[in-house]
Structure 1
Amino acid sequence: MVRIKHRYLLVNILYPDAKYSPLRPAATAGDDIPYTVQFRRPSPDQMNGGLLMRLIRDGVVELFGDYGSGKIAGSLQVKYFSSATSTAIIRVSREHYRLVWSALTLTTRLPRPVDQPCVIQVVRVSGTIRKAEEEAIRRARLSIRRAEAAAKSSSVSIAGTIPTASTAAAAGDDDFDMINGIEDPDELGDLDDDDDG
């Protein structure tokens, strides 16, 4: 008997908004929150795992038609969704995870009743749910540390809190590559190493 293998996609839902643009000068005391924190705000209360499933299915149908819909239908499942952190873990079959990934990447708006502009970022693809959970925890701790550091340095502008490759290299920030989605060349080879799921 052959075991069906899955991939787990760790996903962040980001909410860009013109009023939170880093180029806009801060007008009030409430605007002192760093742009990176404002961009990663909680999801609305109406957003849940079922709505995310509908968004994925509709996106795959729009991009790949009945073929894509049929390929992911049996294995697609939202294993975890947190509206507080706008983070989700999605399970899909190993052969077809790229269909889901592309549908998520090309999403620009959440469906009704939320109906809000968004950017969906796939930050990790793993063979086990445990590795995806560990990455979610690591990223949450890292964003807390960055928010605390930005709050301590009140003289830095909001745009100054957004890390760039040059500032990260100058500061010796080893986590910059992982936060900004730059793939580790060994990452793709590691997918089959932790293949318990």
Structure 2
Amino acid sequence: MDNNYLESAKKQFEYYKQLGDKTFAQLSEEQLFWQYNPESNSIAMIINHLNGNMRSRWTDFLNSDGEKEWRNRDEEFEQLITTKTALLAKWNEGWVCLFDGIKALTTADLTKTVFIRNQAHSVTEAINRQLAHYPYHVGQIVFLGKMCADQNWQSLSIPRGDSDKYNADMFGKHK
């Protein structure tokens, strides 16, 4: 495996961050804190969880367990943040930690062993683990965003019923 893997992983993380950013841009402060019921998570809770996970996993990535002593996972699912500004700062803080961690890696690091909850992973496996985890939660954020925005939702991909137009536009650009 070469540097293409690290660049590919970074691009995938950037894509999912962008989906979250585009979702937040469509929502009011109140909608970010909305819960379907007391047992479900709000977008704010998911952001707080992602922040905790990203900071824990990517801080001192190669040298310490990905589950840090200072992390309080249970607290991540409480409504502790109260403003959109603070929430988006938390969102960005997690991603900065992740991107700094990825940027510091080299091809030679990919086969090194890191630990998450005392379980050994190659660096590649640890990155893949996060590439499965974060999109899972970003998908939840997008779904909740669509529910909250309702008829005002602007599609983040190809709008329903516009596949033919999209394909015609894309093929027209490549001719």
TM range (shorter): under 0.3
Structure with higher strand content: 1
The TM-score, its normalising length taken from structure 1, stands at 0.25
